[in-house]
Amino acid sequence: MTTQTERSLVLIKPDGFTRGLSGEVLRRIEAKGYTLVALSIFTPDRERLAKHYAEHEGKPFYEPLMELMSGGQVTAAVIEGQRCIEGFRALAGATDPTVALPGTIRGDLGRDWGAKVQANIVHGSDSPESAKREIGIWFPELG
Ligand code: DAT
Ligand code: MG
């Protein structure tokens, strides 16, 4: 059986960026064998974040999430490889860093800080449809 190569959007969020974890996250992506296709560092504005997190609008953690994400620089990356969407989600670990398994990015490097939103270091697309949509938002030149 063959599997098509695919792309995923990865963000090292401001909490991860500020702690100097961009290199560690990118190291794990490359060590796993995925390829870096695009890389950019900037502070995202609310308009871009509202598009990115449209599915979460109205949830209790939405505003704190927007504040966290617009509060500093992010490292945005497009990665590539067969099943890299699923593969990066496995590298990232569970959304809640307290229960994310050791060995994962969130499990090894994240913790609960008592905030209204979980600061969990990374974002990764959760499906091919999300990846296509999110890559279009963060890297329109790749669309
Ligand atoms: P993921 O980033 O694992 O795909 P998500 O898309 O459901 O998780 O949520 C986006 C981000 O919002 C997540 O990385 C952290 C935060 N978040 C999600 N659910 C939360 C909750 N119940 N309480 C606090 N923060 C939450
Ligand atoms: Mg998500």
Domain ranges of the chain: 5-142
Beta carbon of 65 within 6 Å of any ligand 1 atom: yes
Select which of 7, 52, 106, 123 is catalytic.
Answer: 123
103-137 pLDDT, tens digit per residue, is 999 999 999 999 999 999 999 999 999 999 999 99
Residue 123 bears catalytic tag: yes
pLDDT mean over 19-37: 98
Beta carbon of 25 within 6 Å of any ligand 1 atom: no
67-92 pLDDT, tens digit per residue, is 999 999 999 999 999 999 999 999 99
Lowest mean per-residue pLDDT among 2-6, 22-26, 117-121: 2-6
Residue 53 alpha carbon, nearest atom of ligand 1: 10
Q: 116: which 2 tokens? A: 């209204």
Buried b (16+ CB within 10 A) or exposed e, 25-60: bbebbeeeebeeebeeeeebeeeebeebbeeeeeee
What fold, for 5-142? Alpha-Beta Plaits (3.30.70)
- Three-state DSSP state, 61: coil
